[in-house]
Structures are given as structure tokens and as C-alpha cells.
Amino acid sequence: MVLELKNITKNFGGISALTDVSFQINEGEIFGLIGPNGAGKTTLFNVITNMFSPTSGEISFLGEKISGLKPHKITDKGICRTFQNIRLFSQMSVLENVLVGGHCRSKSGVIKSVLRTKSQRKEETNSHDVALELLELVGLSKFQDSIAENLAYGQQRRLEIARALASNPKLLLLDEPAAGMNETETESLFDLIKKVQKRGVTVLLIEHDMPFVMKLCDRITVLNFGKKLAEGTPAEIQNNQEVIEAYLGAEEDDEIA
């Protein structure tokens, strides 16, 4: 098991964003987290990465309790994320953005950095090679020297994924990666997430694009008003009456309206 959430509750003042949420993610899975706006999906990512500590409950990663660790320690353990709104270093080059993502893997201390030892130069070469390989993976090799903000929207989203992968995570959290993408961009994102899975990275994904989620995910958890409404395979979720009433049905109504 890669990730285990046990009875996670998160209150913001009087608002209960998450109530008693438990689930487990197996190694190599693409696991979907869906639910209406405000259901608590992003809050769950913030709690997993300990940007917010849970009000109660416990999180384990690869059998080890991680609740209470500083966010950068959690990255070191092997959990990395992207954000619902793109967060890139917009004035830096594409390659530099990926290099920054790999920075937490660097072992060189301050003294070594100043002296630029042979081992550090070697480490820099390695990070550089890894960054180039990741740009290849996300299909952005030819843009390595472009300024990040000049990339098309879908490309920026893929760059964020490359940057997250640069820290060599075992679990990648993606918050609405397909949001705002056109059909071609969504298809290329689909292929990319499959490739990430093939590299042995487990994926937890929040997404509203239902055909995308249903085709991509091995299992899905549905949140509604901060509570777990259902969990199962895409087929089970699509046929779950409670889910249809609370979410899937409502989505269709929204589109008609």
C-alpha cells in the first residue's frame, strides 16, 4: 500500500471541509478523487502534503506515519503535487523550472556549493540529464530554453508535471490537470499520465472531466460535502445511485442549464 488515510477530519473554523475520510491507494494505481466544487478535494491534497494539518486522523505513506512532518520532508519521502491553478516560475526557462523541481533531491550542502566540488558538478550534470529526460517525457524538449509563461496552457500544465517528477516521487498528486484544456491537450495529458504510471509512479488525481476520469482511473473515491460518498471502479461509480444523484446527475443538469 502506498497511501493510507485513516479518519481524516479537517475543520476551518465552523466549516467542516473533511469529515472522517478514509481510503487506501495501492502501488501503481491511478486513483481518482471526484466530487462537486467545495467537496474538500483540494483540502485533502493540502492535508496529505501537510500544508494544513488535519484536525484529526492519520496518514501513512509506504507504511510510515507522515502526519505532522513538514511539507518539504513529505516531498523528500516521495510525495509531490501540482496545483489547481498553475504555479510555475513564469519568467524562468522551461528547463530551469524542471531543475528547480529536482532541487530537493540535491545532496550538496552550502559549503560544497560554494566550493563547487567535483561531486557537486557531477550532481549538476545528473540533474540536468534528468531534467532533459523529463522534458522529453512530457513532450517539451524543443521548448527547453523558452520562457515558461510563453508556453501554451496545456504545455504549462505538462511542465508542472515534469517539475513535480523531478523530485522523483513515488506518489504524484494532480489537482485538476485537465481543467481548461482542449480535446487535443486532454488526450496528450491522458497518454502522459499513463506513461507516468508505467515509470512506477502511483497517481492520485482530482478531476472534473468525467470521461477522462472514467477511462484513466483504476479506482475512484467520491467526496460530497467533505464526506466519502462512494468508492469503487469506474463502472461501479458510474452505476452508483447515490453518486448519480449527488454528482454525476447534477453535472449533466449543469450542462443543460
Ligand X SMILES: Nc1ncnc2c1ncn2[C@@H]1O[C@H](COP(=O)(O)OP(=O)(O)O)[C@@H](O)[C@H]1O
- Interface residues with Mg ion (CB under 5 A) are 41-42, 84
Chain centroid, CA 167 distance in Å: 13
Q: Which residues of 116-154 are buried (b: 16+ CB within 10 A; e: fewer)?
A: eeeebeebeeebeebbeebbebbbbeebbeeebeebeeb
Residue 161: CB minimum distance to ligand X, A: 19
For residue 115, the partner it binds in ligand X, Mg ion, none, with Cβ less than 5 to 8 A by kind, is: none
Nearest residue (CB) to Mg ion, 29 versus 207: 207
Q: Least distance (Å) from Mg ion to the CB of residue 42?
A: 3
Judged by beta carbon distances under 5 to 8 A according to partner kind, the member of ligand X, Mg ion, none in contact with residue 15 is ligand X
For ligand X, the closer of residues 42 and 188 by Cβ is 42
- Is the Cβ of residue 43 or residue 155 nearer to ligand X in the bound state? 43
Distance separating the N- and C-terminal Cα atoms of the chain: 42
* Residue 50 touches which member of Mg ion, ligand X, none, C-beta under 5-8 Å by kind: none
CA pair distance 238, 214, nearest whole angstrom? 8
Find the angle CA(80)-CA(153)-CA(74) to the nearest 5 degrees: 10
Could you tell me the CA-to-CA distances from 205 to 13, 94, 163, 179, 252 in Å, in that order? 27, 24, 16, 12, 21
Which does residue 241 touch among ligand X, Mg ion, none (CB within 5 to 8 A, set by kind)? none
| Partner that binds at residue 97, options Mg ion, ligand X, none, CB closer than 5 to 8 Å by kind | none
Residues engaged in binding ligand X (CB under 6 A): 12, 15, 17, 35, 37-43
> Is there a contact between 207 and 213 (Cβ–Cβ < 8 Å)?
yes
| CA proximity to 21, closest of 56, 52, 53 | 56
Q: Report strand pairing: 219-224 vs 227-232.
A: antiparallel
- Considering CB distances under 5 to 8 angstroms, the limit depending on partner class, which of ligand X, Mg ion, none binds residue 153? none
What is the smallest separation between the CB atom of 82 and Mg ion, expressed in angstroms? 12
